[in-house]
Amino acid sequence: MTRKSQAKTTRTSQQFSKHFGDLGGRSRILDESGSSLILALVFMIVSSLIVLSLSSLATNDLNNASKFKLAQSRQSTADSAVELAIEKVRYNFMPQTLNASPPQSCWNSDSTPSQVSLNNQNIDVWCSTRWAPLSTKTRVVTFFACQSTVTAAQCGTTPLLYVVVIFDDYPSPIEPISTAQCTTTCGESMNINSWIFDDTPPTVTTISPTSGSSSGGSGMTITGTNFVGGATVQFVNTNLSSNSIIQATGVAVVNSTTITANWPALSSSSSYYVTVTTAEGTSQYGPTFN
């Protein structure tokens, strides 16, 4: 090979190396640019997911805050409505509420609901009164508070707020005891027995037997819901003006849906509602025993 050929070959080799060296550099630059774009895309996706997650959390917080505010407003109005009803009932005997089941209007003599509107909430309060003038618990009044969209019967079984207040209208020796409905002596003393939100009073669905000896008997089975230990059973004369409420004996809570009891001596000419009472309230009137 001549010197001229060698020089030409050397130049060609150098040009080849330079050309493909430049291509390799460019390739590395392109590879680095592609990696950067991929990393940027991944970062954008991760950032978007974080933003969406934070947005969802913020939305949930706002929804929870709104629900909490609504629940607080509803409870506050229910508290105020029952407090007003207590003051109305304390100094006034409400005959329409006597042994009422479902409960009746607390301070209106007709069926118009005793309603309080506050905080954009409409709350109705219904009452049921047990009258025992010869005891220290002259009047035991149960207050049921619910939103105005709920009927009295529904409110009696699932109240928003359930309150029991005991009044002594003839505290001895200050006032002479009387069997008459109080007038000027109503509410001489007062004791709040319970104040419960979202309670679950018991219900009575069936009793067996439905009739028996007026001298009393054993083996009655009561079925229903929300029965708990310590429950009591009452026989309430269906002639509500008689104020006759008699306690059963031998009460045994078998489970949350079954109670066994002995029925007491009863009037042979009367029929009686059978009710169950727990700390959560008293069942509404249902099955009767003759």
pTM: 0.69
Hey, what long-range contacts does 114-118 have (CB within 8 A, 24 or more apart)? 114/81, 114/85, 114/88, 115/81, 115/148, 116/77, 116/80, 116/81, 116/84, 117/77, 118/76, 118/77, 118/80, 118/81
Give the separation between CA 48 and CA 31, rounded to whole angstroms.
26
Task: Give residue 73's identity as a one-letter amino acid code.
Answer: S
pLDDT band at 48 (very low <50, low <70, confident <90, very high): confident
DSSP label of 126: E
Class of domain 203-289: mainly beta
Tens digit of each residue's pLDDT (9 = 90 or more) over 220-270: 999 999 999 999 999 998 887 777 789 999 999 999 999 999 999 998 888
pLDDT of residue 252: 95
**Percent over 70 (pLDDT), the chain:** 81
Tens digit of each residue's pLDDT (9 = 90 or more) over 60-88: 554 555 555 667 888 899 999 999 999 99
Q: Write out the residue limits of the CATH 2.60.40.10 domain(s) in the chain.
A: 203-289
